[in-house]
Amino acid sequence: MKKILFIIFIITVFFLAGCGNINISQPPKHFLTNNAGNLNEQQKSAPTTNEVNLNKVQPEASLVVLNSLVLDKSSKKPVVDAFVYIGTGFWQCQTDNQGGCTITNKQFAPGDYGVGAYKKGYQRTTIMAKFVPGENSLTLEIEPTLTPQALTLTGIVKEIVSAPGSKSENRVDVIKTDNGKEYYLFNNIGENTGFENYVGKKVTITGYIDNGFVGWQHNVWSGIYVEEIK
């Protein structure tokens, strides 16, 4: 019995001696929490789920995408290199070998818009469409017409301003040829815009004659679709 008590006494002494070396002023590092503000480096290296989600690029909830398909109205075949445009052409795309193209722009907000499709040798088609956030699909059919004859002419680009300073002010660009004739200048979708850098300069233009839009009222006039200017 005395031996058993002696052994218990020895074990107790060793246990108390070991406890004397433990720092009890704060818990070990791996017990510290975020609230303590003392996370060790190993814990910091693994981001939380919320941190991972914040680092991801969030999708645009209101982003509008237009997937368009342009077909030949007679043959129902895809039309390559046709221009699809919204409004006055601020948003536009050009069709691929399958007759399709896509318009995506953060400023393209949901709503009702006029959508047009045009290509040299085809009549213009314009329809109204309502766009919602996300994917929108639209098919436009354009009808073949006589291919306009190509022409090349030389002249000076002029800017004509009517009713300056009023709400009805119009600014249009024309080319005045060497023989004195004037023609409205149109871009790829028939808008009389984009020639500001050529005003007052003598240029040579290659293109074709077709109807386009002039002025803020969008009046329809005949003019030159510029394919090359130099």
pLDDT-derived band of residue 149, with 50, 70 and 90 as boundaries? confident
Q: Are 79 and 70 in contact (CB under 8 A)?
A: yes
Of residues 10 and 143, more confidently modeled? 143
This prediction has a pTM of: 0.69
Q: Are 222 and 208 in contact (CB under 8 A)?
A: no
Average pLDDT over residues 184-189: 96
Give the pLDDT confidence of 217-229 residue by residue, as tens digits: 889 999 999 999 9
Give the pLDDT confidence score for residue 61 in this predicted structure.
63
75, 78, 79, 81 alpha-carbon torsion, rounded to 10°: -170
Q: Where are the domains of the chain?
A: 64-142, 150-229
CA distance 72 to 125: 11
Level-2 CATH architecture, domain 64-142: Sandwich (2.60)
